[in-house]
C-alpha cells in the first residue's frame, strides 16, 4: 500500500511539476510591457514596503527561487532575475511576498520557521525507526506499538509542516498579485499570466500536503487500525 501511495503521488507531482514548467515557459515568451526585470520588480516591491535590509541576488539553477530569512536575501534564478516577462514578475514578487511576511511578523511564517528544526529532527528519527522496524523493532529494543507511536508522532510533525506551508505560500502569492496590480507594473493580460503561474506553483505544495496526509493516515492504520 505504501508503495502505491508513493507511486500515485509521484505521478501526480510529476504532472503538476511539468505543468508548472510549461506555464513558466509559455509566460516567459511575452515581454513585459513595463520592461522591468525580475530583479527590478523585486527591488521595487521591497522599497514600496519600506524594506531596505533585504538584498536581491541571483542564484544558479531553474526554479530555485526562494527567500532566505536567515541572511535576509531574495534569491532569484537567472531566468527570473534577468527575465522581463509575466513569469519572472510573478516569481520575483512572490519571493518578495515572503520578505514582507517576515518584516510584518506574519504568524504562519513565524510558526513555520519555528517548526523547521523540529521537522528536521522528526525526519531523521523517522528514517532511523523505519529502517529499524524492518527488523521488528529489535534494532531499537522497542516493542512494535512503541515503533508505531514514534513513526506516527514523527510523521505528524512533518505533515503539520506541509500544512502550515500552504497559508504561507498562498499569502505570499496574494501579496504579490495585489502589489503588481496596484503598482500597475503589469497589464491585465500579464496579471492573468502571473496569477496562473503562481496557481500552478502553489499546486506543488498542495500535492505535497495531500501526499503527507494520506501517508500519515496509512501509518496510523498500519500501527493502530487493527487494535481492539
Catalytic residue numbers, as ranges: 95
Short-list 194, 6, 20, 167, CA closest to 93: 194
Q: Determine the Cα–Cα distance for residues 123 and 74; give it in Å rounded to an integer.
A: 27
Cell of 13: 507531482
Q: Cα-flanking dihedrals φ and ψ of residue 87, to 5°?
A: -65, -45
Backbone phi and psi for residue 83, each to the nearest 5 degrees, phi listed first: -65, 140
- Grid cell locating 28: 516567459
**Three-class secondary structure assignment of 85-133:** EHHHHHHHHHHHHHHHHHHCCCHHHHHHHHHHHHHHHHHHHHHHHHHHH
3-class DSSP assignment, residue 158: helix
Between β-strands 66-68 and 55-58, what pairing exists: parallel, antiparallel or unpaired?
Answer: unpaired
Amino acid at each position: 500500500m505504501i508503495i502505491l501511495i508513493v507511486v500515485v503521488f509521484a505521478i501526480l507531482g510529476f504532472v503538476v511539476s511539468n505543468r508548472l514548467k510549461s506555464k513558466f515557459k509559455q509566460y516567459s515568451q511575452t515581454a513585459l510591457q513595463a520592461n522591468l526585470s525580475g530583479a527590478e520588480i523585486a527591488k521595487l516591491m521591497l522599497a514600496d514596503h519600506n524594506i531596505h535590509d533585504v538584498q536581491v541576488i541571483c542564484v544558479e539553477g531553474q526554479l530555485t527561487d526562494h527567500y532566505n530569512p536567515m541572511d535576509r536575501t531574495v534569491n532569484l534564478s537567472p531566468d527570473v532575475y534577468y527575465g522581463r516577462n509575466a513569469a519572472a514578475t510573478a516569481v520575483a514578487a512572490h519571493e518578495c511576498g515572503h520578505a514582507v511576511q517576515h518584516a510584518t511578523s506574519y504568524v504562519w511564517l513565524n510558526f513555520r520557521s519555528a517548526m523547521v528544526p523540529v521537522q528536521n529532527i522528526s525526519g531523521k528519527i523517522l528514517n532511523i525507526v523505519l529502517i529499524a522496524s524492518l527488523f521488528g523493532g529489535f534494532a531499537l529494543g522497542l516493542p512494535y506499538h512503541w515503533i508505531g507511536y514514534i513513526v506516527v508522532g514523527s510523521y505528524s510533525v512533518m505533515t503539520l509542516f506541509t500544512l502550515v506551508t500552504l497559508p504561507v505560500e498562498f499569502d505570499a502569492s496574494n501579496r504579490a498579485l495585489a502589489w503588481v496590480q496596484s503598482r500597475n507594473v503589469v497589464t491585465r493580460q500579464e496579471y492573468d499570466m502571473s496569477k496562473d503561474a503562481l496557481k500552478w506553483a502553489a499546486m506543488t505544495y498542495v500535492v505535497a500536503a495531500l501526499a503527507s496526509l494520506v501517508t500519515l493516515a496509512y501509518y496510523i492504520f498500519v500501527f493502530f487500525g487493527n487494535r481492539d
